[in-house]
Chains A and B, each alone.
Chain A
Amino acid sequence: MLSYALRTLIRMVLTFFVIVTIVFFATRLSGNAVDFVIGEGMTTEDRDLLIKYYELDRPIWSQYLAFLRAFTDGQFGLSFIERRPVSEMVLERIWPSTQLLLSAVGLTVLVSIPLGIAAAIWRKSWIGSAVMVVAFLGYAVPNFVLAIVMVLLFSYWLNWLPVVGNGTALHFIMPTVALAGVLIAALTRFTRNAMLDVLGQDFMRTARAKGLPENAVILRHGLRNAGITILSVIGLQVAGLAASGSVVIEAIFAWPGIGDLLVSSALRRDYPVLQFGVLTVALAVIVINAAVDLAYAWADPRLRHTVKG
């Protein structure tokens, strides 16, 4: 288990380094920041002045080295546009995003695991069908359409829920549901399939044959075994959502989160913010994935012994 954890750790570090490098060069390839930061209508003289001021005239390898050095001395630089430390800009946005993410995942787990199990158990009856139809429909609506329809319905017409920011618990309802919609659909479906896989397996039949009550069979054996798949799906989905799923929702609800910051700094080519932001998100995702991997290994001892590398 320990060496497995070590390998996971090394992989994490390597992945992180690759991402750092890709992000650095991809941002530089996609256009000169000056054309975005400074924008329109400028003489060549003025433009050169600003390029120099923002130190964009240095050769790319020297910028890269400076960028790598930032990791050792913790100076990640200033935003081109807001002219304040990027670490400050990114860090102040992590918590609102995390809150939203956690509430969406919480809602998802609460709703979809029971639904998925129900759909698996009553696969042949109308209950299973109904659950799946709802789940599929949930999956089929783009989250921003769901969000705007909710905004129009609950805020515009009914005036029940606020739409701007993250001030109170009420503010969480619509963004959470909008984000969770797709997750619920996906997880319900995976839970159902995982349960079906498990229900058909020999040890379940054995358990039943031993005369255990059906509920116990399902909960003790079925869920435990299906749990591995379900866990990894949750991990994947959370990681995906942490990475980019919430961008659109944050824009609609003026949520001061990191997705919004990343996209706007990418559109404006605010390299320092973008780099630090992507790295922060990447780090979070890598950690989540590693945690899922380890949990996976813990839950399925066979994996631990797999020879690797």
Chain B
Amino acid sequence: MLKLLLSTALAAGLASGACAQEITVGAANVSSYLDPGRDHSNVGSQFYYNAFDTLIGKNHDKLEAEWVPALATEWKLVEPKVMELTLRDGVTFHNGEAMTADDVVFSLNRMYQADFPPYVVRSRDRLSNFLKAEKVDDLTVRVTVEKEEPLWETLLNLQQVMIIPEDYTKALTGDPEVAEHDDFEAFSLAPVGTGPYRIAEFVPGERVVYERFDDFWGEKAPLAKATVQHIPETASRVTALKTGEADIVTNIAPDQLALIEADKNLRTVGSATPLFHVMIMNVNHPKLKDPRIRQALSLAIDRDTLNEALWLGKAVVPSTHTLEEYGDLYMPELKTFEYNPEKARQLLKEAGYDGFEVTFDTHPTYYTNGLLAAQAITEMWAEVGVKGRVNIAEKWSGRSPEMMTRNWSNPMYFADPFGSFGVMWAPNGPSEGEGRFNTDAQYAEIWERFRFSKDVEARKAAYAELMERIRQDPPVLPLYRPFESWAMRKDVSWAPKPGHIPYVLDFRAGSISFASN
């Protein structure tokens, strides 16, 4: 162990001594604020992991969950509903303060007992089972839940419960002893964490500059400085890479890959990101009330052709709402969604479809290939006799009663079916709350079993029941796991790690290096 530490320290020393490694990332999107607690966007998730830590860490080299110590070195259940965590000694925040149990309690309770509205919203959909965090002594903290929690580690590993400094935050505005709303607003412009990089400069929407934090508790950061610069236009991003203004660029559409691969100085990496692009269907729209119509709309979509055509076959088309990252709960054996135009035609006939127009709403640019897929889908509907029309708008139409169908994404907020389907399609969750999905007592009962059963098989059985409900009365069709690509200089060695949530730009030790040339 000591040897390993020594050699790493040596390597780190060499790296920083020989040449201060700096990189610039050209990103299609840069956050407007940086607060891991209130944020769960795909834009924000790029930024937090470099600068913040959770109590329980994860081995991100692996697809399945392997929990590792982070800010907590040990954790154990002391009662069925109480977890005790031992904190790491000698952790320092970027502003020089030492991390104590008070900071941890403050960070957790800002979510568990939230009263700052953006926290309340984020907490309600995934942390509602968590009641409180309490200090036992300077290095011990207890967390209490309402019902016995099968996903302890998963939910203590969330981005939303990354640790921030209490005194610093409270003192940002107003009374330094009280956490006011304005303190949290101010924090999101001047974020401070415990991670290997400190955020040296943040221009919202434009630029995030990381600098190596020398007092980091773990292995030192491999880069002295990393700048993430907003470059919205695709052509400009690719060009910036070529001119050397950027070393890595994000969001390369599959159609651009060949161009970059053709350059001997550049390369691309990609992965099927753990999120689904989905089509949602409004079950309460007067014309779509009959489940057969929605089944038909779903059956008419040839997702494999979409994959071949738009993603060069590199996306992943699922048979049900499941992801490989779920480990034991990965259930590819379920056949919830399929392509069957014959059946679609037949169902339309049975349901008495009279040729009314079905609109498909999409944002012009938000999802890679989103607009293309929308147009292709309406064309596929035409094949079975459905008159479709693409409706482009910036506005989120998911809550509008007039919305018929549209695209959306169901990201994996954490590696469990609860972290994707479970957040989006829970009873009284976002989808039902927006009035385009209905649940009943039976659905709620199944959901409860799926969420809280301690036995994996029981959870799987319950999830299968939920999927069957979705199949019979479909509000959603997962289209595919999109294949997201990054491009970089050939001598930069970086790739998205399989254990992360989508889009994390991980520049920690072991995640990025440079070829010797």
Contacts and interface: CB of A to CB of B under 8 A. Distances in A.
A159 B396 CA distance: 40
Interface string A252-281: 111010000000100110000000000000
B331 interface: no
A45 B233 CA distance: 37
A41 B188 contact: no
A46 interface: yes
B395 A159 contact: no
Contacts of A36: 394-396
B243 A163 contact: yes
B69 interface: no
A86 to B, nearest CB: 12
A254 B232 contact: yes
A40 interface: yes
B180 interface: no
A268 B233 CA distance: 18
A43 B434 CA distance: 6
B188 A42 contact: no
A253 B232 CA distance: 9
Given A35-B399, A36-B396, A46 B124 contact: yes
B121 A264 contact: no
B283 interface: no
B226 to A, nearest CB: 16
Contacts of B120: 46, 49
A39 B363 CA distance: 12
Given A43-B429, A159-B243, A256-B206, A53 B117 contact: yes
A45 B398 CA distance: 16
A82 B431 contact: no
Interface string B28-61: 0000110000000100000000000000000000
Contact of A83 (B188, B232, B399): B188
B483 to A, nearest CB: 22
B33 A83 contact: yes
A67 B430 CA distance: 33
A49 B33 contact: no
Contacts of A152: 235, 239
A233 interface: no
Interface in B351-377: none
Interface residues of A, number: 43
Output the residue of A36, A42, A256 with the most chain B CB within 10 A: A42
B232 A155 contact: no
Given A35-B395, A40-B408, A83 B433 contact: no
A155 B243 contact: yes
Contacts of B188: 83
A306 interface: no
B304 to A, nearest CB: 27
A46 B121 contact: yes
Given A254-B229, A267-B394, A163 B236 contact: yes
A94 interface: no
A42 B229 CA distance: 30
B424 A41 contact: yes
Contact of A42 (B231, B238, B395, B430): B430
A84 B204 contact: yes
B460 interface: no
Contacts of A47: 399, 433
A82 B229 contact: no
A68 interface: no
Interface in B123-157: 124
Output the residue of A40, A79, A152, A159 with the most chain B CB within 10 A: A40
B401 interface: no
Contacts of A81: 32-33, 204
Contact of B242 (A45, A52, A79, A156): A156
A7 to B, nearest CB: 41
B204 A164 contact: no
B257 to A, nearest CB: 16
A254 B430 contact: no
A254 B396 contact: no
Interface string B501-512: 000000000000
A74 interface: no
Contacts of B206: 256
Output the residue of A41, A82, A89, A148 with the most chain B CB within 10 A: A41
A233 to B, nearest CB: 31
Contacts of A83: 33, 185-186, 188-189
B245 interface: yes
Nearest to A252: B233
Given A46-B120, A46-B433, A163-B243, A82 B204 contact: yes
Interface string B197-226: 000000111100000000000000000000
A44 interface: yes
A235 interface: no
Nearest to B187: A83
B231 A164 contact: yes
A133 B26 CA distance: 39
Interface in B397-436: 398-399, 408, 424, 428-435
Contacts of B240: 162-164
A228 interface: no
Given A42-B430, A44-B433, A46-B124, A251 B239 contact: no
B125 to A, nearest CB: 8
A80 to B, nearest CB: 9
Contacts of B291: none
B236 A254 contact: yes
Contacts of A156: 235, 238-239, 242-243
Contacts of B117: 49-50, 52-53
B158 interface: no
Contact of B236 (A39, A50, A253): A253
Contacts of B26: 164
B118 to A, nearest CB: 7
30 contacts: A40-B408, A41-B424, A41-B434, A42-B430, A42-B433, A42-B434, A43-B124, A43-B432, A43-B434, A44-B433, A44-B434, A44-B435, A46-B120, A47-B433, A49-B117, A53-B117, A83-B188, A148-B233, A156-B238, A156-B243, A162-B245, A163-B239, A163-B243, A163-B245, A164-B245, A251-B232, A253-B236, A254-B229, A256-B203, A267-B394
Given A44-B435, A156-B243, 6 more contacts: A41-B431, A79-B32, A151-B239, A164-B26, A252-B235, A267-B394
Interface of A: 31, 35-36, 38-47, 49-50, 52-53, 78-79, 81-84, 89, 148, 151-152, 155-156, 159, 161-165, 251-254, 256, 264, 267-268
Which 7 A-B pairs give the minimum distances between C-beta atoms?
A43-B433, A41-B430, A53-B117, A82-B204, A83-B185, A46-B121, A81-B32
